[in-house]
Structure 1
Amino acid sequence: MCKVVQGIGNKIGEGGCAEVFEWEDGSKIIKLAKPNTIPAALQAELHHCQTAWACGLPVPRPYDLVVVEGRSGIVFERIYGDPIIKRFVERAVEQSRTQQPIDIMKDYIEAKITAKLFHQIHSHAVARMPSQRENIKNDINRAQYLTDAEKAAVIAELDGLPIKQQLCHGDPNPGNILVRDNDAVIIDWNNASTGNPEADLAEYVIMIRYAILPPHLPSEASVLLDATRETCINLFMEEYERLSGIRYADVEPWILPVAARKLVADGISEEEKRLLINEIRRRLHIC
């Protein structure tokens, strides 16, 4: 049951499914659902974040479900930190302005921070969470860009992959990772599940490799991203392998099903979806 309350502070962020506002004395935020988000989705996100919090993971402390002016929302601890994507954009603009060479050490530091964060998450096995594999299959079947035969072929590849039961975030993009005092906090747990860490890692690799940055970001960010995509992936995977023993070769088979499930995502452009479709069909042809 949601508690009905009134009054919010300044708006501080917005995503595809929610708006974020200051709450109470500023030590908390409220994530208010947009019309395209059903209350059950908020209930699930709260449960997932409570589960992660109970595991001692670096997540915002979740408090309660509330209703504000007829809109459902979740109250969280407010985290003061910069998203990795914001830090990346600022670095790109500064390097362009000062004509500095690419500083790979900063990419290395952030790759280490991110790999450590993912390893912390994946070190836990939890109960009462959605099945990652079923979520992926459902998304693949909803993908309008693939034929029925292509969907069946991708799912057949997925069915041949090993089964694990680890906690996975489900949307590990750089906008959901906040850096605070050289440590990371991860937000937006609505897609969390129990399954294979390799799927989370594949999601991250795909985002770095194929992302098309939004047009409102400075062009310098796209230039830097294009110059460092594979380096960032290699640095990240080297650190994750050091921590976990999982190699890029273990992640590679998951690229196909995770790329297919991303075709239903609202937050990526048609251009990015075309890149993913081309990659999916290339891999199916090889298979």
Structure 2
Amino acid sequence: MEGKGAGDGAKIAEGGCSEVFVWEDADKIIKLAKPNTDDEAMRREYRNTLAAWECGIPVPRPYEWLQVEGRAGIVFERIHGETLAARFMKQLQQPFVDTSELEGEDIRLTARILHAIHSQSAPTHPLSSQKESFKQNIRYTSHLTSKEKKGVMAALDRLPAKHVLCHGDPNPGNIMVRDDGSSVILDWMNATVGNPEGDLAEYIIMIRYAVLPEDLPSELRKSFTAFREAVIDTFMDEYTRLSGLTYEEVYPWIMPVAARKLSADAISEEEKGQLVSFIQQNL
């Protein structure tokens, strides 16, 4: 189906793989692929979001997949609210912020949302295998040698396999809190059927290694660096309380998930360098 031009609606967001525009009215948006994202990836996101919607998970309602001016796109329900990442950055930039106050409800909310997702059995719509998806990403990266890739994939093969719905990219920028206080999780392009430990490792890596924007005051970036492990502890404390799954059980997944992230366009070379060092130390 051919749609109207993206220029007909205001651009309201942009990520590593897509741009988001208002669509038709205030209640819909369209997410359009950038050149680094192919049609099949957008079709997969549409199918995955539809599967999550049909499971009753709080996601933006997916209306249709279409083509706009040669670009693949998905029409979604528009969510009015704020991402957890935006809330965090606002708080971090307040004068005289005490970084110990950043630990709290938003971190625990992320753990609760992920536990709700992981409590679902595999949806009736077929989703990719988590381990196979990870292997495909690992093969693609140019940051590891062939020997290192084989070592990481061998470690991945030794890990137990589960069969639950996993989000694949549970970062605070993908969790929105609506104006009414309810939460919604976005961006299901990387959703798979597999192990909750993979999602938890993804979150831990992001907190532990994320490179904060250079325009933040250096003292705040240094202060957050000292606070990273407290965020991880709070997150895992809440997830363990809900599920019984511990950090020790998640830890073996951190290396293969770190290797998988090396193929991502959205993270910096500085962050990728830290991930490569971690992987090499653990092989």
TM-score by length of 2: 0.93
- Equivalent residue number for residue 250 of structure 2: 251
Query: CA distance change for structure 1 residues 178 and 201 in 2, over 3 Å: closer, same or farther?
Result: same
Instruction: Map Cα deviations across residues 102-141 of structure 1 (whole Å, 9 max, x no partner).
Output: 343x522011110110011111122410011001111112
Residue 83 in 1 paired to residue 80 in 2?
no
Measure, in 2, the Cα distance between the counterparts of 1:82 and 1:224: 24
Letter in 2 for 1:15: G
Q: Which runs of 5+ in 2 are unaligned?
A: none
SS at match of 2:3: strand
Following superposition, the deviation at residue 36 of structure 1 comes to: 2.2
SS at match of 1:264: coil
SS at match of 2:74: strand
Following superposition, the deviation at residue 145 of structure 1 comes to: 1.5
Percentage identity across paired residues of the two chains: 53
Q: Pairwise mapping of residues 130-141 of structure 1 onto structure 2 (< 5 A)? A: 130-141=128-139
Contact 1:5-1:66 within 8 A present in 2 as well:
no
Query: CA distance change for structure 1 residues 44 and 219 in 2, over 3 Å: closer, same or farther?
Result: same
Query: CA distance change for structure 1 residues 237 and 265 in 2, over 3 Å: closer, same or farther?
Result: same
Query: CA distance change for structure 1 residues 220 and 176 in 2, over 3 Å: closer, same or farther?
Result: farther
Measure, in 1, the Cα distance between the counterparts of 2:66 and 2:243: 39
Contact 1:5-1:67 within 8 A present in 2 as well:
no
Measure, in 1, the Cα distance between the counterparts of 2:217 and 2:115: 32
Contact 1:53-1:61 within 8 A present in 2 as well:
yes
Residue 101 in 1 paired to residue 98 in 2?
yes
Aligned Cα root-mean-square deviation (Å): 1.7
Following superposition, the deviation at residue 220 of structure 1 comes to: 6.0
Q: Which runs of 5+ in 1 are unaligned?
A: none
Following superposition, the deviation at residue 72 of structure 1 comes to: 2.4
- Equivalent residue number for residue 118 of structure 1: 114
Query: CA distance change for structure 1 residues 88 and 156 in 2, over 3 Å: closer, same or farther?
Result: same
Letter in 1 for 2:263: V
Measure, in 2, the Cα distance between the counterparts of 1:27 and 1:65: 17
- Equivalent residue number for residue 242 of structure 1: 241
TM-score by length of 1: 0.92
Measure, in 2, the Cα distance between the counterparts of 1:83 and 1:14: 13
- Equivalent residue number for residue 63 of structure 2: 63
Following superposition, the deviation at residue 219 of structure 1 comes to: 4.7
- Equivalent residue number for residue 20 of structure 2: 20
Contact 2:169-2:199 within 8 A present in 1 as well:
yes
Measure, in 1, the Cα distance between the counterparts of 2:192 and 2:223: 33
Relative to structure 2, which stretch is displaced further, 65-74 or 38-47?
A: 65-74
Letter in 2 for 1:102: T
SS at match of 1:26: strand
- Equivalent residue number for residue 167 of structure 1: 165
Q: Pairwise mapping of residues 165-244 of structure 1 onto structure 2 (< 5 A)? A: 165-180=163-178, 181-216=180-215, 219=218, 222-244=221-243
- Equivalent residue number for residue 142 of structure 1: 140
Relative to structure 2, which stretch is displaced further, 191-200 or 217-226?
A: 217-226
The alignment covers a number of residue pairs equal to 279
Letter in 1 for 2:254: I
Query: CA distance change for structure 1 residues 85 and 220 in 2, over 3 Å: closer, same or farther?
Result: farther
- Equivalent residue number for residue 149 of structure 2: 151
